[in-house]
Amino acid sequence: MTLKEISGAKKNRPVLTIVMDGVGIAPANEANAVSLARTPNLDRIMKEYPVVELKAHGTAVGLPSDDDMGNSEVGHNALGSGQVFAQGAKLVSQSIESEKIFNSAVWAELTAAPKADATLHFIGLFSDGNVHSHIDHLKAMIDRAKADGVRRVRLHILLDGRDVGETSALDYVNPFEAYLDSIRSADFDVMIASGGGRMTITMDRYEANWAMVELGWKTHVLGEGRTFASAKEAIETFRAETGVIDQDLPPFVIAKDGVPVGTVEDGDSVVFFNFRGDRAIEISKTFEAGADFDKFDRVRVPSVVYAGMLEYDGDLHIPTKYLVSPPEITNTMGEYLTSAGISQYAISETQKYGHVTYFWNGNKSGKFSEELETYVEVPSDIVPFEQRPWMKCAEITDLLIEALESGKYECLRVNFPNGDMVGHTGSLEATVCSMEALDLQLGRILKALDKVGGVAVITADHGNADEMAETDKKTGAPKRNKDGSLKAKTSHTLNRVPCIIYDNVSRDTYDVCEDNGQFGLSAVAATVVNLLGYEKPEMWDDGVIKLK
């Protein structure tokens, strides 16, 4: 495995990939935080340098259909591998359709004890956002569990409001309760047992806030917390009391006669039904860790059969049991660059650090070369993102500029999480601020690049900040609430993202391809290695430039 140098094309200059996470291209309007923000640096380079629009959702990133929004995980897989692989949602759907998932040894083990006196628990994100999970996958497993003779099922639902409408929880809970009523019988006891907002409990990532996982453990496993007669009652009560959107709702426990209906006990089985890995790893560690677990006091650790929908970390093998094999992503850019002896630098803050390392490298933990690669994580603040929308972009830029000026690295990459993480809050004002903060740092980076004679590929992994309100499909106009305010949107978008080639040193050595809508995020890898002076590997998709 090696890169072939293009005769006379190799340049002794750094090539930097900048991922403006969540910054898509959309018409300027009152809900587009990207166009509303004062971004003189981004505006200038969009006008003065070549720009190709990249597809960042649906089949272009390995998802089942073009109705599926992209996400940071699959986006960075495509960016870092130069290829498109069938991703989690598609793999799970195919496995359910073929019944391969139900014919597996893991499914047999999960459903063995619950055919008698034990309980089968499902924990996961409760929506059809298709970014971390899909409610249809949950239904299929419940139906099959009943058919296989499981007698008792309990559901622990993490409310979304992030990949779907910010206050849409009851649009999922109410029909789901009707569905449960239709399948419940004398010999099949099924009900919702606990829940809470996805940004409050359970679904932490990159060990940014283990307190979320602790709260989820207490809620789902121990049955500790405020009790309600139903999920509907909990959601309506918390909304009235707190005014927060679904993703931030407090945890709740469903109880009957004062007793929680679904604690996790010895002999039970537990399925974490998210297919995306980043927010599933910590809760999986908590279930599977031994006595040396030191993140928080678990109080009691029931002996259960635990499985994830997928293997969330292929190197660390987390969890040990899983229902669907994840995509095997091979021949990534990191592998090829290290084989060619090219030094690399990757940096972001905690919230997206795993995206420029783990996901970029094809869901691989660790480095390909300790000697050639430097990975830097800037610790994220544990505060609501709308309260500090600039996040750590200045600190990231400080270190990135040091790396550029050191002359040690030929290929660098950085992720700025602002547009995505702040965009998910639904706060238009804060997201505008986040874009302006990012633009200030972009200006600093471009000056540093010019100083060292470097070039940059400036892109994004998907849209988000570009569409901060629900959109009327007929008119394209932002939707409004009854009081006239914009109907906030917290999910990703289906919009394309920019791929800007910032090059003041070698622009005359290549042509930028005509933009016919044919390129996706996977084009970035070939573009980067071409700028470095190498041919792309045969299995990669074409880049957006052709060397002369």
The residues annotated as belonging to the active site are 72
Q: How far is CA 344 from CA 18, 250, 351, 522, 525, in A?
A: 14, 42, 21, 19, 14
What type of residue sits at position 80?
A: G
Tell which residue, 274, 265, 262, 263, has the closest CA to residue 322: 274
DSSP-derived letter for residue 298 is: -
Q: Are 213 and 202 in contact (CB under 8 A)?
A: yes
SS3 442: helix
DSSP-derived letter for residue 221 is: I
* Buried b / exposed e along 131-155 (16+ C-beta atoms within 10 A): bbbbbebbebbbebbbebebbbbbb
Q: Are strands 252-256 and 227-228 parallel, antiparallel or unpaired?
A: parallel
- Half-sphere exposure at residue 226, Cβ-oriented, CA atoms within 13 angstroms: 11
DSSP-derived letter for residue 294 is: -
- Half-sphere exposure at residue 368, Cβ-oriented, CA atoms within 13 angstroms: 25
Q: Are 269 and 287 in contact (CB under 8 A)?
A: no
* Helix 393-406 with 428-452: angle, nearest 10 deg: 10
DSSP E strand boundaries for 241-390: 252-256, 259-260, 269-272, 305-310, 322-324, 344-349, 373-378
Structure tokens given for 433: 């601020």
Cα–Cα distance between 544 and 548 in angstroms, integer?
Answer: 13
DSSP E strand boundaries for 379-485: 411-416, 455-459
Q: For the chain, what is the radius of gyration of the CA atoms?
A: 24
Cα–Cα distance between 360 and 73 in angstroms, integer?
Answer: 9
